[in-house]
């Protein structure tokens, strides 16, 4: 398993790093690093974890994370089953904390950019025209060289700094309390849950994976995830149900069972509590069907 706190992904002779990712699945390790990160999903679906926030992701998902904010784009289970027709694709940009220099950021002209970077500490998801334009600028950066790349990066940051088309991700109360040993343990838990969430999962079972007693694990998980394990598991299942509602022509009863629920009443109640819609209302809002 990869270490949670990774070495800098930026070459010593570069201002920033931009990479085109194309793999069977995204990196399934919960991790954090000292760089700012911009990431856009070009292909693939799954669940995005950002601090104490989780949500389904799909093509066009565009997120800025600040330094040392734990994150992971966990591809859906089918991406790990060896289907050569499925793969993921994305663009990632890493920026060091001092990429513009602290003196520059303290000046009056930089106040919007300074606010953007401060907000990124909790994670930001951009959407609408901002997400589309931002994706095009990230594609341009991949094709450019030398100072042209820096100019386009500044244009991208200016776009994001001026935009109102964003959602803050982690809750305002979230702080990263994870150590490397904690993230290794959380990775084991995440991997188990993402592989088995469609089946019944007991607290005893997942506590054993973390090498803890059920009571200790419950306290530990709530401290680091800012929610109970039961609520976390329910959110994973509802996120998967949202994906099925948007992408598959299944009836609600089948989606209920495919997502790990055993009764329609529990599924409908949890779905409304988390999304604010009933399943058919959600499908109509996001697909028009």
CATH value at residue 250: 1.10.10.60
Contact (Cβ atoms closer than 8 angstroms) between residue 260 and residue 268: no
The verdict on residue 38 lying in a domain is: yes
Residues 26 and 161 in one domain: yes
Residues 120 and 203 in one domain: no
Q: What is the mean pLDDT of the chain?
A: 88
Contact (Cβ atoms closer than 8 angstroms) between residue 29 and residue 70: no
Q: With cut-offs at 50, 70 and 90, classify the pLDDT of residue 41.
A: very high
CATH value at residue 134: 2.60.120.280
Residues 205 and 151 in one domain: no
pTM tops 0.85: no
Strand partners, 18: 93
The verdict on residue 206 lying in a domain is: yes
Average the pLDDT over each of 101-110, 132-141, 241-250, 273-282 and give the range with the smallest value. Answer: 101-110
The verdict on residue 90 lying in a domain is: yes
Per-residue pLDDT tens over the stretch 184-237: 888 888 889 888 998 999 999 999 999 999 999 999 888 888 889 999 999 999
Per-residue pLDDT tens over the stretch 102-125: 788 778 888 898 899 899 999 999
Residues 219 and 115 in one domain: no
Using the structure block, give the residue that is written with the tokens 């329910």.
Answer: 234
What is residue 269's predicted lDDT score, i.e. its pLDDT? 94
In the chain, how many domains are there?
2
Residues 274 and 223 in one domain: yes
A 10 A CB-CB count for 157 gives: 22
Show contacts of 215-221: CB within 8 Å, 24+ apart: 221/189
What is residue 143's predicted lDDT score, i.e. its pLDDT? 95
What is residue 2's predicted lDDT score, i.e. its pLDDT? 45
Residues 82 and 163 in one domain: yes
Residues 164 and 202 in one domain: no
Per-residue pLDDT tens over the stretch 148-184: 999 999 999 999 999 999 999 998 877 766 666 667 8
Residues 89 and 226 in one domain: no
What is the span of the domain harbouring residue 251?
Answer: 197-287
What is residue 159's predicted lDDT score, i.e. its pLDDT? 97
The verdict on residue 124 lying in a domain is: yes
Residues 96 and 205 in one domain: no
Per-residue pLDDT at 1 exceeds 60? no
Per-residue pLDDT at 77 exceeds 70? yes
What is residue 59's predicted lDDT score, i.e. its pLDDT? 94
The verdict on residue 184 lying in a domain is: no
What are the CA-CA distances from residue 247 to residues 1, 25, 241 (Å)? 32, 19, 10
Per-residue pLDDT at 274 exceeds 80? yes
Average pLDDT for residues 142-147, to the nearest whole number? 93
Residues 23 and 163 in one domain: yes
What is residue 15's predicted lDDT score, i.e. its pLDDT? 80
The verdict on residue 239 lying in a domain is: yes
What is residue 195's predicted lDDT score, i.e. its pLDDT? 86
The verdict on residue 57 lying in a domain is: yes
Residues 93 and 142 in one domain: yes
* Residue where one domain finishes, among candidates 116, 149, 168: 168
What is residue 3's predicted lDDT score, i.e. its pLDDT? 42
| C-alpha to C-alpha distance for 27 and 194, rounded to whole angstroms | 13
What is residue 21's predicted lDDT score, i.e. its pLDDT? 95
Residues 98 and 207 in one domain: no
């Amino acid at each position: 398993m990869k270490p949670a706190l990774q070495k800098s992904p930026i070459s010593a002779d570069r201002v920033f790093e931009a990479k085109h990712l194309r793999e069977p699945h995204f990196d399934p390790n919960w991790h954090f690093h000292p760089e700012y990160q911009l990431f856009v999903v070009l292909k693939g679906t799954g669940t995005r974890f950002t601090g104490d926030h989780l949500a389904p992701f799909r093509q066009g998902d565009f997120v800025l994370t600040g330094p040392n904010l734990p994150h992971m784009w966990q591809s859906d289970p089918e991406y790990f089953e060896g289907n050569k027709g499925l793969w993921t694709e994305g663009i990632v940009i890493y920026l060091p904390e001092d990429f513009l220099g602290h003196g520059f950021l303290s000046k009056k002209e930089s106040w919007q950019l300074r606010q953007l970077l401060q907000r990124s500490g909790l994670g930001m998801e951009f959407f609408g025209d901002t997400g589309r334009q931002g994706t095009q600028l990230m594609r341009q950066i991949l094709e450019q060289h030398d100072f042209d790349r820096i100019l386009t990066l500044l244009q991208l940051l200016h776009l994001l700094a001026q935009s109102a088309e964003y959602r803050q991700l982690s809750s305002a109360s979230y702080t990263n309390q994870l150590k490397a040993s904690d993230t290794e343990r959380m990775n084991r838990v995440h991997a188990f849950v993402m592989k088995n969430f469609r089946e019944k999962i007991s607290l005893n079972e997942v506590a054993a994976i973390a090498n803890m007693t059920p009571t200790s694990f419950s306290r530990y998980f709530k401290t680091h995830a800012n929610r109970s394990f039961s609520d976390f598991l329910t959110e994973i299942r509802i996120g998967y149900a949202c994906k099925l509602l948007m992408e598959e022509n299944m009836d609600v009863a089948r989606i209920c069972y495919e997502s790990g629920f055993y009764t329609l009443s529990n599924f409908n109640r949890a779905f409304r509590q988390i999304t604010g819609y009933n399943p058919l209302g959600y499908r109509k809002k996001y697909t028009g069907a």
